[in-house]
Structure 1
């Protein structure tokens, strides 16, 4: 089928990128569990290695199963291409890799997953890169933080752990005025709830481990390219606009146009960083995406029900769910996430840190894991786990203070979820 935007989301999540296997007629995308691919002849091999022809060389670079997943996610996000890789963290490095160089920086939101904050504040220093963390609710501060060495602006559509919604159109306008790309992590929202590219984002990254796969079986990441950024408008992005020595002076943007970033991600990023997604992981994720809209509808409905109930509980000091009228981010739902505010939020307990620990240990249906976006409801105390490496100030800025727990609402019966939460809250408070 043609991956035309005329098809609805529910159709595309099943069919985009997939065709019956030409060799066998298999309807489900096969797992091409192979390392390498036979060339037709020497001329064919040379054309592939010179980027003169698109095809399969070696599974570190390209694989037919992974290629279907890339096309499907790109279609759902409204991008021109995508590159899948081994994890969400790999996707973040892969997204920055063509843009950054020694002495350059990325302006990032303070409301990010704790592992991302550590990656940006510590690990990327080894590349000679740096990050400036800014409260993205303060648009003037975001604009002020961008300088001549800034190469990207980074945020999450629905921030982990608090479920805060970023004003993507406003941030996109700031990035566009500065001539730098906006990268949006759309993991918590998925393309069903939020379309960052339509709102002005240049690149979208995902931890496909979460809602896209939806069943807690495999890790993966993806970078989606909007194809709308002019990489040659300045000298800030030589990896994409200047001659590439490894390909005899080929200029990616001049040669591949809107697909420049995608081709660079494969031909340079995967080639040299090796952050490859394996075909079995791609297969699991493809199967998960087939039910994405159905799951997200249930996730959102359940989250709204549970969050509203928790907000009235005697042992709860506050709930951060943006879908609630009491949330300061509720006004952004209609614009940024018109189909719902996701299923991730934090709950502040009146008993503080100790009550949080007892609460987590007392839950029965909720699984205590370092993950989100599963069909199962999940819980974690971020301050002592995913955000433990951060300072108290960073934890507070990220929405992961010691008195809060992060909840990822699944698709179970909400009556059962509320009963489990109630008994655990009562135990946590004696």
Structure 2
């Protein structure tokens, strides 16, 4: 039977605990698992049998979360890890090598821009930043050493919606995977795999968990990419010395990337998600659809109010008819444009700082996707490391604040912004 999203967000991957009958997924707080015998142990280590060895690799609580997110995204499998940043490295790790590059959207979270522009250089990898809306520029940036195209479905901080269908068509034409960060949208608003994405990554810290308690990341594999077609992805298509010459794509087919992420990625990078964090995230996902509906409903009300306020220069919310990305909402995010957007203040940088310091209901934090309404001045915080040119390209200009609309009463959110803007103007 094909269940609906609301049912799957509660039940996918979970069964009553066979040992105790516990209905909620238990926290399996253990580092290691007893093998039945020596033959069983050997089969597990040879990847001839699926099971639990050591919690750096696999854990029953984490396994439920992996299956649930993969199901909600429409993927073949998923690998959970310790944060969204870890998920991005995990996604690139089987694809990249020294001298290779990834073509990346300029409209990314500031920390992602820093990770791609600075940190990955230490691996000998290169990121080529382009305006993801300019398909000619994307194609021009691709060469024989390119191994992926990377974007966000709903960009952080500006709420820009990427044309995933067009990007997937281009990536497919040149034989490359499209990797989509779906953190801001969640699979309730957008399912990138249905638009042609190969891999989907999340910072589960944000909307998936939804309560600001734990960090976590996940990589979801569509299972649809032919890793053996071009010879460009030897980690997946060629013999793996650590497993006696096993070829991941030949052996595991649609689950090749997922098995590689566990057997190589988690084994050697060690970016493990702990079971308690997985438990909190599972509980958060149970109410994902309910929360996202309210996030979107509130965001529309607040964005409309801000757009009509004389103290505001502009609002970037894609749900507004005035947004240049409004036409993509129904096609890419048919259930709503999310709860994240930016607001440009006529008073510039100083007014932004004063507004952040003047709000009572909003929390001034470096996070998004919480049940609470959150605000931050990106240019002085999350995007501080970037040049002003990079800040503008990323949608984090000095006169802009990023707002993550929570699920409180919309009237209370608006009232707090009203009094905060009054103080900022004063």
Q: What's the TM-score bracket when you normalise by the shorter of the two chains? A: over 0.9
**Match for 2:388 among 389, 392, 411?**
392
| Structure-1-length-normalised TM-score | 0.99
**Match for 2:421 among 417, 425, 430?**
425
| Structure 2 partner of 1:304 | 300
Q: Distance in 2 between matches of 1:352 and 1:393?
A: 16
Q: Distance in 2 between matches of 1:106 and 1:202?
A: 14
C-alpha displacement of 1:235: 1.0
| Structure 2 partner of 1:22 | 18
C-alpha displacement of 1:111: 0.1
| Structure 2 partner of 1:339 | 335
1:36 aligns with 2:12: no
Partner SS state of residue 197, structure 1 = helix
How far does the alpha carbon of each residue in 1:182-226 deviate from its partner, in whole angstroms, 9 at most, with x for none?
Answer: 000000000000000000000000000000000000000000000
| Structure 2 partner of 1:214 | 210
| Structure 2 partner of 1:294 | 290
C-alpha displacement of 1:347: 0.2
C-alpha displacement of 1:345: 0.2
C-alpha displacement of 1:314: 1.2
| Structure 1 partner of 2:238 | 242
**Match for 2:322 among 319, 326, 330?**
326
C-alpha displacement of 1:144: 1.0
How far does the alpha carbon of each residue in 1:157-189 deviate from its partner, in whole angstroms, 9 at most, with x for none?
Answer: 000000000000000011111101000000000
| Structure 2 partner of 1:161 | 157
How far does the alpha carbon of each residue in 1:279-326 deviate from its partner, in whole angstroms, 9 at most, with x for none?
Answer: 000000000000000000000000000000000111100000000000
| Structure 1 partner of 2:48 | 52
Q: Distance in 1 between matches of 2:93 and 2:354?
A: 42
Partner SS state of residue 427, structure 1 = helix
Q: Distance in 2 between matches of 1:235 and 1:199?
A: 25
1:232 aligns with 2:228: yes
| Structure 2 partner of 1:148 | 144
| Structure 1 partner of 2:181 | 185
Q: Distance in 2 between matches of 1:199 and 1:259?
A: 20
Partner SS state of residue 406, structure 1 = strand
Partner SS state of residue 55, structure 2 = coil
Moved segments of 4+, more than 4 Å:
none
Paired residue total? 426
Q: Distance in 2 between matches of 1:381 and 1:22?
A: 49
1:67 aligns with 2:50: no
How far does the alpha carbon of each residue in 1:374-394 deviate from its partner, in whole angstroms, 9 at most, with x for none?
Answer: 000000000000000001110
Structure 1 gaps, min length 5: none
Q: Distance in 1 between matches of 2:424 and 2:286?
A: 39
Q: Distance in 2 between matches of 1:340 and 1:145?
A: 32
Which residues of 2 match residues 188-207 of structure 1 at below 5 A?
Answer: 188-207=184-203
Which residues of 2 match residues 81-92 of structure 1 at below 5 A?
Answer: 81-92=77-88
Q: Distance in 2 between matches of 1:369 and 1:340?
A: 24
